[in-house]
Amino acid sequence: MKKSLILLVAGVSLAGGCGGGQSGDGKMRVGVLDTTRILAEMPKYKDLQSNLAREQREFQTKIQSQLPQPGADISDEKKKQLEQEVNKKRSEFQTRVNQTLQAAIKDIKDLTTQVAEEKHLDLVVVSTPFNPSVHYNGGQDVTIDVLLKLKRI
């Protein structure tokens, strides 16, 4: 029940301000958004994933080239330096991921609001990898509409 409430609150916040009101037949118009699919097809996010993978491979190669041959000793100073370098790079990667995800969330929210207004939806239920949505009979999947708008920005 708590998950459903969270999803409904998230949906209301995403669809907030849509101009619908209930349809003429008194039924609430509900849309469903699949964020897993959105992220999988989002150009910014896909680019980030491929760039990070490439950069991680390059960084691993660089670190491995600095390591001594197997069986050789490594000084505590050198070990500390490598650990600091690895931690710094990990932090940089995480910062970039967080920034990209925050931008993606804003884009998805803005575009979902536009779609909800255009389709006169009263509520958009957001399905995330962490909290799958409750699927309503007759709920309109707006994922493709958001994807199409996303490809235009």
- The conformation of residue 137, written as its DSSP 8-state character, comes to T
d(CA 71, CA 119): 66
pTM of the predicted protein model: 0.60
- Burial of 142 (C-beta count, 10 Å sphere; 0-12/13-18/19+): buried
The class that CATH gives domain 2-150 is: alpha beta
The string of pLDDT tens digits covering residues 108-151 is 899 999 999 999 998 888 877 776 666 555 567 788 888 888 88
What is the helix (H) or strand (E) element at residue 30, kind and residue range? strand 30-34
The string of pLDDT tens digits covering residues 21-45 is 455 677 788 888 888 888 888 887 7
